[in-house]
Amino acid sequence: MMGYRAFLLTVFTLLILVALRFITEAEPIGFITPQFVTFVMFYVALGLAFNIFIGMTGYVDFGYVAFMALGSYAMASAINRASSLSLPGYGAIILGLVETIVLTFILALIVGGIALRLRGAYFAIATISVNEGLRFLVDGLDIWGGSAGIYVSGPLIRLVGHEAYSFIALIVSDLLLYATAFIALIITFVYLNSRIGYALKAIREDEDAAKVMGVNTTFYKVLAFSTSGILGGLIGASWALKLAAVYPPEAFNIFYTVEAIVIVMLGGAGTFLGPIVGGAVYGGLKYVLSGYIPGYQLLIFAPILIAIIVMVPQGVIGFLRERSERLREFIA
């Protein structure tokens, strides 16, 4: 089994995070509150889900947030529909998750089928344009409430009542998020230890050579792309449960894609621990900085980001891996 030590270490780290979430529920430890843990977890999950595509194939998807947005919208619209028909509340959430999976899969097939024929800069530009195009489409044709957006918390409260709402917005949404992170991690492990992992690695190193060797490159690329996309959709869907409303400029904000890239770069692309380290460092710093110096956190972030890219382009974990033979086994 490849990288099983690293995998176990990562699972262990994730479990600690989950435990922290519930321990701090009763009493916060320092600045660590359940909100803080979930905030960090959001970025960890994002990193893990994004890593499946970017880390394994080396393609940069600049339209990743489109999947998250689609997930948020699917969840929001399922809740709204259930609310107007007064269906059971939890059924709506499950329906929202199913819709998320179906919609993001369809989007991934379409975008993947078209854009994945392109490489490098061309692919990056194509995915940016898909993201912006979708946003303008939702906005311009008044789909899902157009530019006004679509409410979540209001209909959800009407559907299940105040008490159950706060349970859903705090506990259920957190659990869904954590579950998504675990699923992403397990899928990474399974992929790495199967044919799929070899195929993707071959594509990352030399796509033409992989093709010549008989690897169905398109199939594996679309597979990784849609897996990563569906998981992104699930993150968006579970996060939507916490929101008051979903609307285009926020849901399609390209900044989330950038954050996902930063997390993967920070930790080290294509590693297990990378997204966790990246997500924790990024999410933690962002949370703390926005608490102490609100409004300036991005100004401080940007130079740090540039410095990391210039000095350790392979990421923290990648850097450690190169440095130490012994560490390599644990952090593969």
Partner 1 sequence: MGSVLGLGAVGLSLIFGVLRVVNLAHGAFLMLGMYITYWLFVLYGLNPAISLIPSFIVGLLIGAIVYQTIISRIMYGPELSTLVAGVGLMILLEEAAKVMWEPTYRGFIYDIGTVYVGGIGLPLSKVASALLSLLLVAVFFIVLYKTKLGTAVRALMQDPEGAALCGINVRLMYALMFSLGVSLALMSGSLIALHQQQGINPYVGHSYLLIAFVIVVLGGLGSLHGAYVGGILVGVIISLSTLVFTFFGVPQPMILAHFIAFLLILIILLLRPQGLFGGK
Which residues of this protein are in contact with partner 1, per CB under 8 A? 54, 58, 60, 62, 114-115, 117-118, 120-122, 124-126, 128-130, 132-133, 136-137, 139-142, 146-147, 254, 258, 261-262, 265, 269, 296, 298-299, 301-303, 305-306, 309-310, 313
306, with CB counted inside 10 A (0-12, 13-18, 19+), is exposed
Nearer to partner 1 (CB atom), residue 124 or residue 171: 124
Which of 257, 272, 254 has its CA nearest to residue 317?
Answer: 272
Q: How far is the CB of 28 from partner 1 (least distance, A)?
A: 30
CB of 92 vs partner 1, minimal distance in Å: 28
Output 31 or 136, the one with its CB closest to partner 1.
136
Q: How far is the C-alpha of 27 from the C-alpha of 20, rounded, in Å?
A: 11
Q: In angstroms, what is the minimal distance from the CB of 132 to partner 1?
A: 5
Q: Are 249 and 241 in contact, with CB atoms under 8 Å apart?
A: no
What string of DSSP letters covers 260-300? HHHHHHHH-TT-SHHHHHHHHHHHHHHHHHHHHSTT-HHHH
Q: How far is the CB of 256 from partner 1 (least distance, A)?
A: 12
Contact call for residues 245 and 233 (beta carbons, < 8 A):
no
Q: Which is nearer to partner 1, 119 or 195 (CB)?
A: 119
Shortest CB 303 distance to partner 1, Å = 6
Q: Using CA atoms, how far apart are residues 172 and 92, in angstroms rounded to an integer?
A: 13
Query: By C-beta, is 89 or 315 nearer to partner 1?
Result: 315
Shortest Cβ 62–partner 1 spacing (Å): 8
89 token code pair: 């509340």
Is residue 131 helix, strand or coil? helix
* Alpha-carbon 50 to chain mean position: 5
Q: Outline where DSSP puts E strands in 63-176.
A: 150-151
Of 221, 220, 256, the C-alpha closest to 70 is 256
Q: Toward partner 1, which CB reaches closer, 142 or 329?
A: 142
Residue closer to partner 1, measured from CB, 94 or 114: 114
Closer Cβ to partner 1, 85 or 121, answer by number = 121
Q: How far is the CB of 57 from partner 1 (least distance, A)?
A: 11
